[in-house]
Structure 1
Amino acid sequence: MGAPWSIPFEFPLFQWLSHQLANFTGLNLSSSGRLVSVLFGAGCFWPASRLMRRAGLGGTSIVVMILLYCTSSIYLYWNRAFLMESTALFFTLVSLDCYGQIRLEPTPGTLKLSLRSSGLALTLAIALVVKATTALPALALMGVDWIWQTHQTAKRHRPLQRQLFVASALAVAFALLYSWTHHADALKQLKPIGAQLTSSALKAWNFGQPSQRLQAELWDGVVLQRMLFPIAALPITGVVAAGVWISKPPSRTFLLGSLALAFAPLLLFTNLHIAHTYYQASNQIFLLMVVAGAAGLLLDQPQRQPWTQGLVLASLTIIIIANLHHFAREDWPRSQRFSSDKLAIGQLIDKNTPTNSAILVIGDDWSSAFAYHSQRRAFTQPNWPVLGRSAADVLRDPQTALDGSPLGAVVSKQPIDTTQLPPACQPRQQRKIKRWHVVICDATD
């Protein structure tokens, strides 16, 4: 988004780990980032399994959860992407596990309480600052449960030591999120464009309109088409309903809590879930845990009937087939063709422009793809005027956006009139790659 170049949103833990792994192993940054994402994605098995065991669910439920997770089209696709989603989800699950340990410990001592509360504060804070939209629903659920537990403890005239430790942990995590958001907003406000992207400025975009929560684009477009799939919706509903019906505390509490974490993000950050297909990576695992937990309870019933077991196994088979079919038909082909033009253009720019140069991109709606693939700083002019400046205005005078960095290349969806280019960009090479027009400037180090 131009100079000054730092307009942060999430705390860059995932990015830092990817960078360090690339430096340590010699991997290129794409491979390093994907590997970090895959490792955190696989790491989610550990806290998810612990949560399920603590809720009284057996090995059958855990095996089913792992099977559903490994065949989920969402995780097959997005866990291998260069995204922080799996990192935030891992720490969110670990924080829930820490909370569960504190909540269910019969008589924890002060030392054990302080250590576990510190673990809760640390992991929840990391999850919140890495991706607030992933961890906030979990924080809200813990807060609601803490209120209920505190009420019950006070009602029975028992010591509130446990509740005070938990409250301190949740407060510390939220305070760190608030501090990071305040710091990030302060950096954004150093530039007029950044000032339009603060947390308060994006509130309407993030949460969406109230009417969206009742519209088909959420319940059909997101829930049915991305999370359940039409053919698997009925089996999922049947398994979950039957499993919850026969469950007993604490299994029922776990199933209902996980169900809340599967759907609450959709109602909280509605527009984000509608606009971005990767956002469901933050909550789909909770739906899978509910299905797996319910299926395990049904399969492990002492007086289970063969026909019941057959129905559950058939339902699970349909769910797995639906996910693999969607991945094979939609996600895998997309992973092979997506942004191949942007990758080729990025490599062209990287090879033919100085490393200290910046690029100007017109018409890509603030995507970071060209900047990433070319390894160059960039200003990306979207398809609408920014601060009263049109694409033509920016093209004539890019330096206000580039702040002194030499202009290395111009990329545009529309043909580029070289006579309108600034004097700093004397065309050395012109290419058309699929729908994009590219001019390589005669810039020097």
Structure 2
Amino acid sequence: LLALLNLWLFVRWLLRPGLVLLLATITLGCAAALTKVTTWAVFAAAVLAIGAWSIISARRHGRSTADALIGLVLILGIPLACGVWWASWSDGIKAAGDLTSELTSGSLAQWNFGTLEQRLSPAQWGRYALRSGLLILGPLGLISVGPAVFSFFRGRRRRPPLPVLAASLTALAAGPLVFTNLHFVHDYYALAIGIFIIVLLASTLFAQKTRPWLLAAIVISSLATTGFYIAAKQANYTDPLSDGLARTVAGLPDDRTIVVIGSYLDARIPYKAQKKALQTRIIDPSDPMFRDAITSMKGSKVGAILTRSAADFPAARMAAARLGLPSRFDLSPGVSVWTTTALGASLELEPLDLVGEVDRRMIGFSSDEQAGQFGLLMPSGPGAAPGIGLIRGGNLYLFDLKRGFRVVHRRWSPEGRGE
């Protein structure tokens, strides 16, 4: 919103230059750059395109361009300087922390900007274009691309204004070309350029003055399908392991922080558990910086340590031992939660008569010391309960996507039903 207002004020300043509008445009640009520089950069590209067109047009008509050129430099340069200063200041804070020293801008340069191979990969660009189009326009909204392209090449008289084309195309290209990896990995970065896709398509389509009913149908269907598509996608997206971890720690006191160790950084876990969280990458437990960082957390209100991968298990186990979290609950191999007290009692609900009513397929495994024997029960067939059963410590748990884990049968074994 800040970047959009910055662009709007810039256009108004071009039409009616004035000191107040200039200062307001610069202020909003600084606020946008400090809030999220990757979004500001996309809108800054549009500002540059419109400003360049305005200066070139003024020169063609013999008008002075000095004021416009100075204003453009200030409107782009000052927010850019603010963004660089902010990144440098935050890098200093990150560099001072043991767990954040590798998260500075320099260390993440390739992650942020990507590689030449990514920029030259037709397959990656194809996936990015399809994913972004579905996210912004919706499945049915993609049909507007064909008529827009046809309308654009139909004739110059029916094309949208050149500044609109220049700003939209420049902004659309700037985001993924500069921050290539961020746009390819995270779908939400496309939302920053979404408004330019909509403006480009709308201005091209509405330049055709014929068949207004067809244009209205495209717009209405696009709006409807986009909303339904995104809502359905979010409603149906589940991750059993993340949901199970969140359910497991949701009952901890509100003032407790959870620590998630491993490369699988998932914001859904703290969000669904309603807990503050520290998430860190795969760590070598012998790393002295990691050991010192964990030791420095003693006495803090760490309620649980979570891990989602067997590769992260040694580091999580060491951290749990140092922070005094002796009780471990295993959801599946390598997916574990350490807390101060056993979690079994807090997971009990009324029993379900599951065993004996559904077909069974046992998958047995055993982990390291203290873990004991595990097994997974996967219900199938008519009448099967939804979810995955987990045999842990002689108890059978049922994982339900809506309710999390709950005790089904105590002292259960494959040979008998248990209680």
**Is TM > 0.5 for Structure 1 vs Structure 2?**
yes
Q: TM-score, with normalisation over the residues of structure 1?
A: 0.63
The match for 1:236 is 145
Distance 1:252 1:393 in 2: 59
Distance 2:215 2:292 in 1: 64
Q: Which whole-Å deviations, capped at 9, do the CAs of 1:183-230 have from their partners, x for residues lacking one? A: 111111112442322222211111111221232453322211331567
Distance 1:280 1:100 in 2: 23
The match for 1:10 is none
The match for 1:365 is 264
Sort the Cα spacing of 1:313 and 1:153 in 2 relative to 1 into closer, same or farther, 3 A: closer
Pairing partner for 1:179 from 82, 85, 101:
85
CA contact (8 A) 1:379 1:401 kept: no
Once the two structures are superposed, the pairs formed by residues 9-408 of structure 1 within 5 Å of their partners are 90-105=1-16, 108=17, 113-150=18-55, 153=58, 156=62, 158=64, 160-228=66-134, 232-242=141-151, 245=155, 251-298=161-208, 301=209, 304=210, 308-316=211-219, 319-320=222-223, 322-324=225-227, 326-327=229-230, 329-334=232-237, 340-350=243-253, 355=255, 358-363=257-262, 365-371=264-270, 378-382=277-281, 384-385=282-283, 389-390=284-285, 399-400=294-295, 402=297, 405-408=300-303
Pairing partner for 2:324 from 425, 430, 434:
425
CA contact (8 A) 2:111 2:181 kept: yes
Bigger fraction of residues in strand:
2
Distance 1:341 1:257 in 2: 46
Sort the Cα spacing of 1:236 and 1:391 in 2 relative to 1 into closer, same or farther, 3 A: farther
Distance 2:63 2:275 in 1: 63
Task: State the number of aligned residues.
Answer: 333
- Alignment gaps of 5+ in structure 2: 343-419
CA contact (8 A) 1:232 1:322 kept: yes
CA contact (8 A) 2:259 2:306 kept: yes
The match for 1:411 is 306
After alignment, is 181-190 or 409-418 more displaced?
409-418
Sort the Cα spacing of 1:250 and 1:159 in 2 relative to 1 into closer, same or farther, 3 A: same
Could you say what secondary structure the match of 1:365 adopts? coil
AA aligned to 1:254 is: V
The match for 2:366 is none
The match for 2:355 is none
Deviation at 1:392, TM superposition (A): 10
The match for 2:370 is none
Distance 1:216 1:319 in 2: 27
Sort the Cα spacing of 1:276 and 1:342 in 2 relative to 1 into closer, same or farther, 3 A: farther
CA contact (8 A) 1:410 1:440 kept: yes
Sort the Cα spacing of 1:148 and 1:195 in 2 relative to 1 into closer, same or farther, 3 A: farther
Q: Which whole-Å deviations, capped at 9, do the CAs of 1:38-97 have from their partners, x for residues lacking one? A: xxxxxxxxxxxxxxxxxxxxxxxxxxxxxxxxxxxxxxxxxxxxxxxxxxxx11111110
Deviation at 1:100, TM superposition (A): 0.4
Distance 1:177 1:278 in 2: 21
Could you say what secondary structure the match of 2:303 adopts? strand
AA aligned to 2:177 is: L
CA contact (8 A) 1:217 1:274 kept: no
Q: TM-score, with normalisation over the residues of structure 2?
A: 0.66
Root mean square deviation of aligned Cα: 3.8
Structure with more contact order per residue of length (Cα contacts < 8 Å, sep ≥ 6): 1
Distance 2:302 2:48 in 1: 51
Q: Which whole-Å deviations, capped at 9, do the CAs of 1:114-153 have from their partners, x for residues lacking one? A: 1001111011111111111111022133234434544554
- Alignment gaps of 5+ in structure 1: 1-89
AA aligned to 1:180 is: W
Deviation at 1:167, TM superposition (A): 2.4
Distance 2:233 2:334 in 1: 22
CA contact (8 A) 2:128 2:184 kept: yes
The match for 2:338 is 439
Could you say what secondary structure the match of 2:252 adopts? helix
CA contact (8 A) 1:410 1:438 kept: yes
Deviation at 1:98, TM superposition (A): 0.7
The match for 2:381 is none
Distance 2:304 2:239 in 1: 26
